Amino acid sequence: MLQASSDVTFEGTVLFERSGSRQFLTVASTAEGNRGELRRMNAGANPRSEFWPIPSRSLTRICHVLEVYVPRLESGRIIAGRSTQRLTLRPRDTLRLTHLVDMDQSTGLPLAMITLDLDGQMLERYEYAAIEYESVIPDASVGNVVDAEYKRGRNIVPGYFLISENPDRGLFVVSDGLATASVFVEPLPAGAPVGEGAIIEGATLTYTRGVRSGSGGLLISVLGEVPFVTARLLADAVRPPLEDS
């Protein structure tokens, strides 16, 4: 499921809903290159194509996901004319969200997905209305799965590992293999008091914290599909360059 986008080429129509809004999309992946195409069909007339990267396949990442989520597989409903299996990924702790994934029984492609908060409330969902497969990439067997681009760094908060960082620009990205959070550090805007605040759009939480420092002040922003407590712990984890961990 996590790598099905890498294993098959397809074209379909998707409904995406969150925060009371909905978008209809056409989505396609191609056998050539490493990107797919996306068009937002109700954003305007003759919508332009946008492109999305097709991630590399990684067996390691799947193992990491199972370290922090409890999987449950059961028979699913019919979606876009195809049989599915329902994979429930329930978090082992309170630092991540719950995901309900309806996978194509034949290809494993996630045809629908619902993200729930810790309270069981739906934050966002998508579902295919129609899908056509073009081919299956031949070397998609587990034995051929490579971990070309999935490398995790040190553990920042339980289950979340550093996957990318640029300390000079104050950018850090952590992931638990499924959920991702980006941490941005910048000077505190002039006149801004010390404090914190958060908003949530669909499953994406944006948490900001202003702190005083010797050089004036800093603003830490955490964006991610994570609960509030996780964003707060990630902000706690930010340290100055010369401080030992």
Partner 1 sequence: MTAEDRDREALSALMDGEAQELELRRVLDSISSDPSLRERWRRQQQVRERLQGQRTHAPDVDVSIRVREVLDTGRSASRNPIWSMAVAASVTLAVVMGGQQLLIPSSGIAPAPVVSELGGAVVPVLGAQPVQASLGARSLPVSNRQTAGIQSAGQSVAAVYERLARDRYHRLNGRHAASAAQSHPAPYISYVRVPEIKPEAPVSE
Provide long-range contacts, Cβ within 8 A and 24+ apart, for 62-66.
Answer: 62/2, 62/3, 62/177, 64/152, 64/161, 64/176, 64/177, 65/2, 65/89, 65/176, 65/177, 65/178
What per-residue string of b and e applies to 12-48 under the rule 16 or more CB within 10 Å gives b? bbbebebeeeeeebbbebeeeeeebebbeeeeeeeee
Contact between 46 and partner 1 by CB under 8 A: the answer reads: no
Binding-site string for partner 1 from residue 210 to residue 229, where x marks contact by CB under 8 A and - marks none: xxxxxx--xxxx-xxx-xxx
**45-53, 73-81, 137-145 -> range binding partner 1 (CB under 8 A):** 45-53
Contact between 139 and partner 1 by CB under 8 A: the answer reads: no
What per-residue string of b and e applies to 234-243 under the rule 16 or more CB within 10 Å gives b? bbebbeeeee
Residues 175-194 that bind partner 1 (CB under 8 A): 175, 177-180, 182-187, 189, 192-194
Tell which one of 42, 46, 119, 143 touches partner 1 (CB under 8 A). 119
Contact between 85 and partner 1 by CB under 8 A: the answer reads: no
Q: Cα separations (Å) of 138 from 53, 73, 106, 141, 176? A: 20, 26, 15, 8, 28
Which residues are paired to 95 by β-bridges? none
Tell which one of 7, 11, 25, 135 touches partner 1 (CB under 8 A). 25
Tell which one of 8, 11, 113, 138 touches partner 1 (CB under 8 A). 113
Contact between 152 and partner 1 by CB under 8 A: the answer reads: no
**Minimum CB–partner distance for residue 186 and partner 1 (Å):** 7
**Minimum CB–partner distance for residue 76 and partner 1 (Å):** 14
Contact between 149 and partner 1 by CB under 8 A: the answer reads: yes
Contact between 145 and partner 1 by CB under 8 A: the answer reads: no
Contact between 76 and partner 1 by CB under 8 A: the answer reads: no
- Distance between CA 24 and CA 14 in Å, rounded? 6
Contact between 15 and partner 1 by CB under 8 A: the answer reads: no
